[in-house]
Structure 1
Amino acid sequence: MRFTALWLSGIIVVVYALQQLFSTEPFLLISSLKFAEPWRLLTSVFSHGSPAHLLNNLFALVLFGLILEGRIGPKRLLWLFLATGIIVNIFSPYPRSLGASGAIYGILGALVALRPMMVIWLQWMPMPMVVAGAVWLLQDVFGVFYPSGVANLAHISGLFIGVAAGLYWRKRGYGDKIDASAKIGKDTELERRLDDWEREHMLRK
């Protein structure tokens, strides 16, 4: 059963609620404090700056996280999300930052490597995952030179970390099969519905 992506999303929602009740400051990644207060390397991954920021990341995490979790299993998805988020934050050049985008780009990168021909909709156009990955990369490279308040370097770093992890898992055969640890029992109703949805809407290949 695929639960990790949903649990992570739930934690993100709870953290955002705490931000509204108290303050965002304790959750922020602040460059001058990242090693003096190392918990910020993790808490900033689960915090967000606005409802739009939150909803965009939740949508991507649930959609792509469920698909990847079905391929590599819940434990690997969890480690990829957390490790990517922390590594990206360690090397972050930004004075202050927050958000799960870097970790989510790790998920996207892993899918680029594992499911390169899976078709998704991007900018209202269907395209293979590998093409979408190239589009995301180009957008963020452009954003590095023309900043708009987005942590483009975190996106780029996360994408490459995810691709590296995905290539490793692909060599171990995770690209073309459903991981057994992502299921509870055989042919559960929810599992069938998730797989049917992926086939219908993601043109599974």
Structure 2
Amino acid sequence: MSERSPGSWGPSPRSVSRGESESTSRSEPSPIRDLLVIFLVVYVLQWITALFGLGVMTGLFVLSPPIDARPWTVVTSVYAHGGFGHLLSNSVALVLFGWPIARATTRLRFHAYFLATGAVAGVSQIVVTGLLAMVPFLSIAPTPGVLGASGAVFALLGYLLASNRLSDSFASVIDVPWWVSIGVFLVLATIVTLATARPRVALVAHFTGFFAGLIAGRAGVLESDR
């Protein structure tokens, strides 16, 4: 997500049995393919609307304050991108991190998770930077606008890390309190966020997405039997 001016990896066996997973992957179209098509269609629409003026494209696809002025951008911004490189990097990450999860859950759950985490990540970027900009001794500028699927992609990565077989094996041996898990997740989210830091990158959105993914993965929210 970017700022914009106005043999053991994979979900654990507890998520779904192998037979159920294979059956789901055969009977339902892939949500990964769905999202790649949506990314491309939205990218083309961005180009088309930009021909009528940058303000038109921004008003349709860029999440910017005040959020309630254009509430639809909470959704559309998740699937929009700031350039072809942005689109390509998120598409590659989606395939890498999303494919194992998509095979172990339903199409509807995957899409709902992707949209929800992406929207929350985008809104958090706008809200948190806006609040921090009000603190006198902090030289932080509010985010003028944000778009991209990075927050949702980071949520997929977090889910994959927290719900894989290795994590489950560790948790089954050592009874880790929830407050310790949350503390570890916060540290991990901070490290991953700082590792991706560069100009015009929505770091708050990355942090929020990854942290939400870790919590969701530990809770197993995408388990098919829930």
TM-score, normalised via structure 2 length: 0.62
Alignment of 1:14-163 (within 5 A): 14-23=41-50, 24-25=57-58, 26-32=60-66, 34-93=67-126, 94-115=143-164, 117=166, 137-141=190-194, 147-163=198-214
Q: CA deviation at 1:137?
A: 4.3
What is the identity, as a one-letter code, of the residue corresponding to 1:7?
D
The whole-number CA distance in structure 2 between the counterparts of 1:169 and 1:85 is: 18
Give 1:7's aligned residue.
34
Unaligned runs of 5+ in 1: 119-133, 181-205
The whole-number CA distance in structure 2 between the counterparts of 1:64 and 1:161 is: 15
Q: CA deviation at 1:95?
A: 1.7
Please, what is the CA RMSD of the aligned residues?
A: 2.6
What is the identity, as a one-letter code, of the residue corresponding to 1:30?
S
3-state SS of 2:148 partner: coil
Q: CA deviation at 1:21?
A: 1.7
What is the identity, as a one-letter code, of the residue corresponding to 1:97?
V
3-state SS of 2:70 partner: coil
TM-score, normalised via structure 1 length: 0.68
- Check the 8 A contact 2:157/2:213 in 1, yes or no: yes
Residue by residue, what CA displacement relative to the aligned partner does 1:61-116 show, whole Å, maximum 9, x if unpaired?
12221211112232221111011011112222322111000011111111011116
Q: Percent identity, aligned pairs only?
A: 34
Alignment of 1:173-184 (within 5 A): 174=223
Residue by residue, what CA displacement relative to the aligned partner does 1:126-154 show, whole Å, maximum 9, x if unpaired?
xxxxxxxx87742423666xx51111110
Higher relative contact order (CA 8 A, sep 6+): 2
The whole-number CA distance in structure 2 between the counterparts of 1:48 and 1:64 is: 19
User: Deviation above 4 Å: which 4+ runs of structure 1?
Assistant: 134-137
The structure with the larger Rg is 2
Structure showing the higher strand proportion among its residues: 1
